[in-house]
Amino acid sequence: MLTDLFGPLSMHRFGHDRGDTDGGSGDHDHNDTGGTDVLARYRERASEVHERVVHDHGVSCIEFLGSTGSGKTTLLERLVERRPADERVGAIVGDVAGDDDARRLEACGVDVVNVNTGKECHLDASLVADAVDELDLETLDRLYIENVGNMVCPADFPLGAEARVLVVSTTEGDDVVRKHPLLFQSCDAAVVNKTDIADAVGADTDRMRTDITEVAPDMEVFETNARDGSGTDRLTEYLAASGRGHAHTD
């Protein structure tokens, strides 16, 4: 004999079908809201990060994510090198272990907080909120977040950035978009990096573009070579336009 708690469920009981009022055995009168959406709670935390960083402190916040080795850190190095002289940049760098990426960005003059995610394979908004505590937002104009290299989980975990930029590279094969549609759908812009070796690895970047448009309508696509910086100017312009009150809709 069972009684159901939660939900439209107070109606559904297993094992027998007495009415709710009979027998006086009590407890059939349960709340009908159902449980909290666990994923929505992560999205709410992302909104809080957004509110604090972007709205309260006027810091432009951009997340880079994508596969391991696609060139996220290299691209950030190029963007930071090319920033306006007076732009003050901070970064939150997620890595399963180690601080190599953090050191690389520090070497470019960025104020970095390194987050080791340990057994979690991605950043979430709570980890980002803790990392933000370690930064002096008053002194920053822009905050970059580099997520852990992962093409799956981050789709369910926005971090509160004004723009999520998905970095994939030609070496992953030109079917990378089709294999990861939900991740593309969760992002605002895509970078197809390592264009310099597209021919060598037989990747058709036009096909990647077409796939992106099919899976994620209206997504901006940038083709870059993060080694020498070619193609990053358009990305810089896009990010400038995404900054502070442009890209987000709330």
The answer to whether the beta carbons of residues 64 and 167 sit under 8 Å apart is yes
The answer to whether the beta carbons of residues 229 and 196 sit under 8 Å apart is no
Q: Which of 88, 104, 178, 227 binds other proteins (CB under 8 A)?
A: 178
The 125-154 contact track toward ligand GTP, x by CB under 6 A, reads ------------------------x-----
Q: Does 157 bind other proteins (CB under 8 A)?
A: yes
- Residue 19 or 217 with smaller CB distance to other proteins: 217
The 33-52 contact track toward other proteins, x by CB under 8 A, reads -xxxxxxxx-----------
Mention every residue, 6+ apart, whose C-beta is less than 8 A from residue 236: 79, 82
Binding-site size, Mg ion (CB under 5 A): 3
Q: Residue ranges of the alpha helices (H) in 82-193?
A: 100-106, 125-133, 176-179, 181-185
- What's the min distance (Å) between Cβ of 217 and ligand GTP? 26
CA distance 124 to 120: 9
Q: Which of residues 169-198 bind ligand GTP (CB under 6 A)?
A: 193-194, 196-197
Counting every residue, how long is the chain?
A: 250
Reading the block at residue 63, the tokens are 């997340």
Q: Is 246 left (phi over 0), alpha (psi -120 to 50) or beta?
A: alpha
Q: Which of 101, 188, 211, 220 binds Mg ion (CB under 5 A)?
A: 101
- Residue 71 or 154 with smaller CB distance to ligand GTP: 71
Part in contact with other proteins (CB under 8 A); list of ranges 65-73, 79-87, 97-105, 174-182? 174-182
Q: Which of residues 90-119 bind other proteins (CB under 8 A)?
A: 119
Mention every residue, 6+ apart, whose C-beta is less than 8 A from residue 18: none
Binding-site size, other proteins (CB under 8 A): 43
Q: Which of 45, 57, 72, 164 binds ligand GTP (CB under 6 A)?
A: 72
Q: Does 45 bind ligand GTP (CB under 6 A)?
A: no
CA distance 204 to 230: 18
Reading the block at residue 145, the tokens are 């977040």
Looking at this protein, which amino acid is placed at residue 202? G
Q: Taking CB within 5 to 8 Å according to partner kind, which of other proteins, Mg ion, ligand GTP, none is near residue 231?
A: none
Q: Does 225 bind ligand GTP (CB under 6 A)?
A: yes
Cα 80–Cα 242–Cα 69 angle in degrees, nearest 5: 50
Interface residues with other proteins (CB under 8 A) are 1-7, 9, 12, 14-15, 25-27, 30, 34-41, 119-122, 124, 152-153, 155-157, 178-179, 181-182, 185, 214-218
